[in-house]
Structure 1
Amino acid sequence: MSGKPAARQGDMTQYGGPIVQGSAGVRIGAPTGVACSVCPGGMTSGNPVNPLLGAKVLPGETDLALPGPLPFILSRTYSSYRTKTPAPVGIFGPGWKAPSDIRLQIRDDALVLNDNGGRSIHFEPLLPGEAVYSRSESLWLVRGGKATQPDGHTLARLWASLPPDIRLSPHLYLATNSAQGPWWILGWSELVPGAEDVLPAPLPPYRVLTGLADRFGRTLTYRREAAGDL
């Protein structure tokens, strides 16, 4: 940047674009629960562009915020970066990401969590009721299907606060980054069966954000169209 050895967030570049600084990158190809790519944000230059990835990124914008015990916040960020295991295009179009765009891909040999930053975080498959913790991401991923977690488990109290129909379902996955919550509930959109559909219909090989749950048992449910749009 004009020969300067360092620059601060908000400084203008030679071509007029501001420098935007986001989360630090993480290791590549690490064990389960570690992102397979660096954060598309990070240090940027140009208009702005992440020099490591060659991706154009834009800082987050909040369009709508409804206060409450479980507030509803509609915000979005942009990055042109795509991983090898990208999630489908979100509600704002290609490159745009919102918190509601969190998606879990369920594969035979892995679980791939596409976060709202455009990254892919890989986990080993989970048995019903099993939990795994990602140290690099400070993130818990738990599969439903268990009434309680073992005594002394970090998430024991938070797990017990979930409504029984959520924590007992082996088809739901839940994620949190704190023992105080909230939970991000990863489920699927309910489809109205057609006349030619075979029932019961198989569940899709992915889960989307269908709601939140706090440590007091309160839940916020997101209603989605059949195509998955919020």
Structure 2
Amino acid sequence: MPKPAPVPYTDRTDAVPRHVAIIMDGNGRWAKKRHLPRIAGHKQGVEAVRRISRAARDMGVEVLTLYAFSSENWRRPEAEVRDLMGLLRRFLKNEVEELIAEEVRLRVIGDYRALSDDLVAMIEDVTERTRDATGATLVIALNYGSQAEILRATRSLAERVASGALSAQAIDEQVFEAELATHDLPPLDLLIRTSGEQRLSNFLLWQAAYAELVFVDTLWPDFDAATLGDALATYAGRHRRFGGL
């Protein structure tokens, strides 16, 4: 299979974002348009994960963070949640050897320990086996909610202040970020949401403060290397001012 075309050249030295995050939306609508059960859309969504994680590496993205299961997704029907967890098991089982071969580090953010014991064991096995990989990083957000992440960081800092281990005056952006699940990752450069929706849905709220946002109409199962390349080209064409001129 040929590699995707490279992102178009610009004169910016940071034309390719180091860290890209994607809100993968539209699996259900993809299935509905084809008169298929929702699980069919989720299965195609897993194929898109495989396709895009490879394409991102080929395009030079160092970190790809995917919003796989939010803390709010537990509100979905029990059968759908069960199907999603089954797909996660299959993904971890089928992809581990490729991740190792490609030197890809798997990271999981969110309260994944609230999942079933067998899934927790699988996640910790794959993350441990890929921990020392020297290539790209694939981050999966599972049972993740950004507001809960921020609250946990706040409580942790409050406990340190109460114990005398930290001065309240010493808390700045860097100290706060060190408490977040993404503390060991590069800053978020680009956040993409598929399916035409234009909201963050409790995803990486702190981290996205100065990220470039790209919203595309493509449903996640149809998202491909060309669509990713277009999003990266949009990013490359923007002037990132970070509050300056």
Same fold per superposition (TM over 0.5): no
TM-score norm. by structure 1 comes to 0.31
TM-score norm. by structure 2 comes to 0.29
Structure with the higher fraction of residues in helix conformation: 2
Whose relative contact order is higher, 1 or 2, with alpha carbons under 8 Å and at least 6 apart? 2
Structure whose alpha-carbon radius of gyration is higher: 1
Structure with the higher fraction of residues in strand conformation: 1
